[in-house]
Structures are given as structure tokens and as C-alpha cells.
Amino acid sequence: FQEDFSMKKIAFLMLTLSFFLVFTLPVQAKTSIHVSANNAVLMEAKTGRVIYEKNPHEKRPIASITKVMTAILAIEYGDLDDEVTVSKEATMTIGSSIYLQEGEKMSLEDLLYGLMLRSGNDAAIAIAEHIAGSVEGFVFLMNQKASYLGMTNTSFANPHGLDEDNHYSTAYDIAILMRHAMENETFQKISEAKSYQ
């Protein structure tokens, strides 16, 4: 009986130890992430910790991702109820459009939805001119904001993202920008919208 009891006791201790090891030691699972893009960063929103990266600091054209910076500056510097008068320059902008007409008046909020939902290049110019008085002045604000956020490998040359010299960023810098933008409730609301009239 004594020998049997000791064996049971040892078996119980071993079982307990196994349970302890399984449920208390950190699990190190190999995670394979496949991203077809040449450049990518997965960043934790709360801490800024990089979870995954692929060529994170390579400078690349960023196209309409530019509009994230345009939107956040419009929200931070403007009032959504502001009335914006559309210039001839805005209506002549090439590429995707919300078909603004010269002299048309529209709220900044409406333009922001046109910017983000339809990727309106004309909306981007109208917003830039309204916020800073000129496209050049707005681009200055864009680069100032990028520097403030720590986007060290970014240069903006326009508010819409059409290809231009000195208009580029990196996956890492865009992750920084998106992390900042998503802290803004107005930006969240606009970027999450599926439709807007």
C-alpha cells in the first residue's frame, strides 16, 4: 500500500508540474505572415510597437494615402461647418474627382467626405486652399506636421498624392500617420463611412 501510494504521489506531482509548464510558460509559436506588397508595417495602435515589417523605411510614392494627412490637417485646423468656395484651380485638378464647379460653395465636412470616400483630388485642392490660403502653404503645413509626428522619411509636395518630385513616404511613416489619425474621432467617423450624401 505504501509503495502504491508513493507512485501515485509521484505521478500526481509530475502531472501537476506538466500542467504548470503548459499553462504558465510563454508559448512561442512561429507565425508566418505573407504580404504581397513590397512594403508593409503592422503597428500596435496604443503603443506604436511594430509587430510586423517588410522594407519599412524604403521611400516610395504614396498616391492617395496622402489624403490621410490632408484630412487630418483639415480637421485639426478647420471647422467642419466652414463654407468653402471652390476655385478654378481646384476644378482643373486631374484624376479622381467629385466634380466640383468653380464658385460652388460647400461645407468643409462635405469636402472631407468627398476627399475620403471618392478620393477627390479636386476636394483636396479646395481643402488646401481653404485651410492655408494656397496649395503651397498647405504643403508647408503637411511637412511641418510630418516632422512633428516623427515621419523622418516623408516629403509632401501636394495634398492629393498625384506623382510629383519630392512626394514620398515609407510604410513605417504612414503607420505613424495612421496611428495619429485614428486617435481623432472625426477622422474615424469619416474614414469608416460606407456612403455619404
Marked catalytic residue, from 8, 9, 18, 67: 67
Marked catalytic residue, from 64, 87, 96, 169: 64
Alpha helix positions (H), the chain: 2-24, 66-77, 88-91, 108-117, 121-132, 135-149, 171-181, 185-192
Active site residue 155: no
Closest C-alpha to 108, from 91, 87, 134, 126: 126
Active site residue 64: yes
Q: Do the bridges between strand 40-43 and strand 50-54 make them parallel or antiparallel, or are there none, so unpaired? A: antiparallel
Marked catalytic residue, from 96, 119, 145, 169: 119
Closest C-alpha to 90, from 75, 71, 103: 103
Q: How far apart are CA 120 and CA 97, in angstroms?
A: 4
Active site residue 134: no
Q: How far apart are CA 63 and CA 150, in angstroms?
A: 20
Active site amino acids: 64, 67, 119
